[in-house]
Amino acid sequence: MYINRWLRSLLLLVPLGLFCAELQQPSRDLDVLLREAYETQARLVSFLNSIECKSIVIDPGIKGMQTIKQLLATRWNGDASRITDYARATIGVENIKDVYDCLEFFKRSSLEIFDIKDNFMVPTEENYRDINIVFKDVINGMLGEVQINTMPLFSINGSLHELHNPGCGEYAILYAVSKHRKSTSFPKVTNR
């Protein structure tokens, strides 16, 4: 069932010719982008709080300046227009079925979607899993991102993201998983 839904999602995207490498903000000026990001963030959170999915909205605010500087130095050769998630938010749902139900809602909504990455079907190299949606704010042309994830995976992924450091490696992963296990209630297993 989920494979059929995924294939249907893929077929809906193919005619649009979506290529993430071509995505750019409407300006290269970082000050302009940050000013517009605050407005887009407010509209995004308002929109997400009104959606018809069984979910919670996690609003981290706009991307932090330290992260922006790091991305500009290491990934985009100083081109501020290449960062697509100045405005961003996460939708947390209970299970995988709800993830795809929420994705279907976004496809039917008025949101202008430019790219969808299904990292459940094809996880990242770090084994990160989510649905990532790049959208365009129709008022100011700003691009932003929405992630859809299950709350248990968000808890682990969020911990991994916070701890990501080239020197941490497997210790960060072990710490994040143990942190998640401590914060989650698992049924007690007894031998009979």
Burial class (CB in 10 A: 0-12, 13-18, 19+), 129: buried
State how far the Cα of 155 lies from the Cα of 130, in Å rounded to an integer: 12
Quick check: pTM over 0.75? Answer: no
pLDDT tens, per residue, the chain with 192 residues:
444 454 444 444 433 434 445 799 999 999 999 999 999 999 999 999 888 777 899 999 999 999 999 999 999 889 999 999 999 999 999 999 999 999 999 999 888 999 999 999 998 888 888 999 999 999 999 999 999 999 887 666 554 444 333 333 333 333 333 333 333 333 322 232
Q: Which amino acid is at 5?
A: R
Sequence spans of domains, the chain: 2-150
pLDDT for position 153: 75
User: Which residues on adjacent β-strands are paired with residue 152?
Assistant: none
Burial class (CB in 10 A: 0-12, 13-18, 19+), 62: buried
For residue 181, give Cα distances in angstroms to 121, 122, 156, 161, 185. 24, 25, 9, 17, 8
**143-150 and 87-93 beta bridge pairing:** parallel
pLDDT for position 191: 31
**3 state DSSP class of 89:** strand
CATH fit for domain 2-150, picks 3.30.1360.200, 3.30.460.10, 3.40.50.300, 3.40.50.620:
3.30.460.10
